[in-house]
Amino acid sequence: MSNANLDFLSPHSEIAKLIRDKDWSNNPIGKADLWPPVLKSALIIISNSKLPTVLFWGNELVVFYNDTFLEILDSNEKEKFSFGEPFKNNSDKEWEFIEPILKNILLQGNTVFYENQIFEVFLAGKNNIPYTVSCNPISDELGKTAGITVSFITTSGNEKNKLAKNIERYSATQSVREFRKIVAESSIPIAILRGPNHIIENVNSAMFQTVFQKESKGIFGKTLIEVFPNMRDQKYPDLLDEVFKSGLIKKEKEAEIYVLYEGERYKFYFDFEFTPLLQADGNTSGIMVIIYDVTEKVEARKKAEDAEERATLAAEIAEIATWDLNLQTHQLIHSASLATTFGYLPSVKMSYIQMLEHIDPADLTDIVNKAFEEAMNTGYYKYVVRINKADGEARWIKSHGKIFMDDTGEPLKMIGTILDITNEREREDLLLGREQKFRMLADSVPQLIWTADSQGNFNYFNLSVYKYTGLAESEMSQGGLLSLIHKEDRDQFMKLWSAAIGAGTDLSIEHRLLNVKGQYRWHLSHASAQKDILGNIQIWVGTSHDIQNQKTFTNELEKQVHERTTELMTKNGDLVKMNIELRSFAYVSSHDLQEPLRKIQMFISRLEDTEEDAFTENAKEYFTRIKVAASRMQTLIVDLLDYSRTNTLDKIFVNTNLEDLVKEVINDYKEIIEEKNAVIEFFDLSEVRGIPFQLRQLFSNLIGNSLKFTRKGISPHIIIKRVNIKEKEINAQSENPERNYCHICFSDNGIGFETEYETRIFEIFRRLHDNVEFKGTGIGLAIVKKIVENHEGIITAKGTKGKGAQFNIYIPIL
């Protein structure tokens, strides 16, 4: 057996020696090398325990015990109580009482305590020392009870034991005086009640001070109900009656008693014991009442329980498992969520050893054990480890806790919490992976990229920053980027950067940045805050893009724009002069040019009236030509004046009824319409907002042209229609597709024109037909187009030679 691996035990311990020296080949639990981890863990715990502890393992209850237990065994018992042997092989009859208890624990898996037990087998000559015995089950990997630890804790006497001994002495001596002296001097609150009516005979000072809180005068010789009438409706009179009749002790912990004080009813908590006082013949003569006021303790505990309940509720909501480990008995108390954390049903009760077995072996050695050693010095522990749940699933947990010591500095218990942080860990790993990917991508681009924490402290720069600045990482981490910003731009950068951090808004600023060559180049820096789902800033990600070339180009462009603007202002001035000259021309046309022309026409008219008969044939032909030329000159001057007016007159827009305008124009052309038997139809010509006299001239020119350019033998037919449409129906690429337009369609059945003239037809002085058959100046349609443009409209023309023409006019509805 000397070759057995006992590295899990201290090599100098007696338990290690006993295991090493024993032959385990025929033992029910087999050789030590094959022992399960839970048994080894249990042996580690009892070997390090300061309490006398026995471990019973398996169904055979194989016996192990620690060095401390050996110290309290009588020398003879050491031989009888065989180490490593099944319990049934031990010959001492003193131990037979414990076998059924152990069997029951194996079956039920419950913890058992026995207080103030006397064991004859311990310490010969000192076997009157009482012990408290703690029996705790140990579960295997499947949660089944595999073993039991039995720990022995010495307990000392108390004031109550002393009182019991004195009462025994009173019974032996029957000394009433001695008994009264014992009662009076006792620090325990005591009252003596006599007879079946419970008359108050004796009350010590401790009872007066803590419970009765009354003066002694007028109390003795009265019944308890007379002194405390509020007790009548409570259970205590009946309990006293029962004790007096039965002669049996009645006691209760934390019993509720209601007391009436100054008209108010108050609740108190007491530990009480009603002990019958028996006479020699066995009859009860009275009752000794012992009462402790535990109100403060109970209320404090209830507050603590309430706080604990709230904390437990909060822990359950947060899915935090809680546990409490007794470091002397190794008893583990835990919340249901701890069992579920390790993959068990909430009802499963886990042992401390079982909990440790689920921790990854490497983490148990490298993290948990070291955390425990450190906690022994600091009193606090925390760790993050991997665990394997009952079904084999790997998870991450985080544990925090505290160790409590006794007055001598010995550890008493550990309390702690466990939180499954697998999802958090996976998110952290995901974020770490993303961060690594981000940095890899950032290092591969030429732009300057940097990050900062939520407070604006720079914490990362990509490789391009180091290449551009020529600074080392240590220099950049000390605020090097800010020192590289041009001093004229630095204050503005800091102002906007601070404002962005405070408001969580984006930063965008142009500034100059010093490069490795000592040159300042313009950069556009932009930073955005990355926030969590609650809107809290997690990180700032920024870029600084070199815009020196764009800046140079922009400056040059601004210079050129300034030059062009100056040139344009000069040309605008020239245009103003031209408009003035045009107005002067209009004035000259309307007065100076028409005046001589009127005289010419007057002289022509006189010659025609007085001298026409004297003209030769050639003279008549020349005279006719002069007359026609003068008429054309008159028409041309009038048309030029009309065209000029479309540019110079004030453009006052009013609601204008198109139907009324068309009717006025038709009336103007009444003779020609009748002469040519023309038909003019118009539909839905409602109001538009426009310049009335210009719109009238538009219809006059279009109708006049249709009456002029007609086909021989075919009566003119003119159709005028109006509908409202959207701008997108005119131009699919419009920037304002929903804008409303008035669409006026003007069509006739005249001579028409070639499609190649659809755009050129609106040019001034553009004539498509000879002047012999169709008189005109070529200005009429130019005036129409100018009127449409004055209304911010559009006009198009479509023609088919020999069939007619169509004009589409689009005027915005204001």
Distance, CA of 368 to CA of 386 (rounded, Å)? 11
What per-residue confidence (pLDDT) applies to 275? Answer: 80
Strands (E) located in 613-762? 654-657, 679-683, 687-690, 717-726, 740-747
769 pLDDT above the threshold of 60:
no
The average pLDDT across 747-774 equals: 71
Looking at the chain, the whole-number percentage of residues with pLDDT higher than 70 is 80
Element (H, E) at 146: strand 145-154
What per-residue confidence (pLDDT) applies to 645? Answer: 62
| Helix-, strand-, coil-residue percentages of the chain, each rounded to 5 | 45, 25, 30
Determine the Cα angle at 720 with ends 716 and 724, to 5°.
165
With CA atoms as reference, report the closest residue to 458 among 397, 510, 507, 403: 507
Distance, CA of 69 to CA of 77 (rounded, Å)? 11
Cα-flanking dihedrals φ and ψ of residue 488, to 5°? -75, -20
Strands 679-683 and 717-726: parallel
pLDDT in tens, 401-450: 898 887 777 888 888 889 888 888 888 777 777 777 777 777 777 788 88
202 versus 612: which is more confidently predicted? 202
pLDDT in tens, 313-360: 555 555 688 888 888 888 898 888 889 899 999 889 999 888 889 999
What does the H/E/C string look like for 295-326? HHHHHHHHHHHHHHHHHHHHHHHCCEEEEEEE
Mean pLDDT of the chain: 80
Distance, CA of 315 to CA of 246 (rounded, Å)? 49
Residue ranges in 396-547 assigned as alpha helix (H): 422-443, 463-469, 473-475, 481-483, 487-503
Distance, CA of 335 to CA of 347 (rounded, Å)? 9
Element (H, E) at 203: strand 199-203
Question: Domains of the chain by range and CATH?
Answer: 14-154 (3.30.450.20), 159-299 (3.30.450.20), 318-420 (3.30.450.20), 426-546 (3.30.450.20), 650-812 (3.30.565.10)
9: pLDDT confidence band, cut at 50, 70 and 90?
low
- Distance from CA of residue 500 to its chain's centroid? 21
452 pLDDT above the threshold of 90:
no
Count of all residues that appear for the chain in the document:
814
Distance, CA of 569 to CA of 575 (rounded, Å)? 10
262 pLDDT above the threshold of 50:
yes
Let me know if 648 is exposed, middle or buried by CB neighbors in 10 A (0-12, 13-18, 19+): exposed
Dihedral angle sign, alpha carbons of residues 512, 513, 514, 520: negative
Let me know if 11 is exposed, middle or buried by CB neighbors in 10 A (0-12, 13-18, 19+): exposed
Task: Write down the residue that tokens 């609150």 correspond to.
Answer: 189
* Weakest-pLDDT range from 559-573, 588-602, 674-688: 588-602
- 411-420 sheet: strands from edge to edge: 332-334, 320-326, 411-420, 394-405, 380-388
What per-residue confidence (pLDDT) applies to 165? Answer: 44
Element (H, E) at 37: helix 37-48
pLDDT in tens, 358-413: 999 999 888 988 888 888 888 888 999 999 999 999 999 999 889 888 777 788 88
659: pLDDT confidence band, cut at 50, 70 and 90?
very high
Tokens of 170: 């009173």
Tokens of 53: 């502890």
Tokens of 588: 């000259």
Q: Are 53 and 46 in contact (CB under 8 A)?
A: yes
Cα-flanking dihedrals φ and ψ of residue 446, to 5°? -75, -20
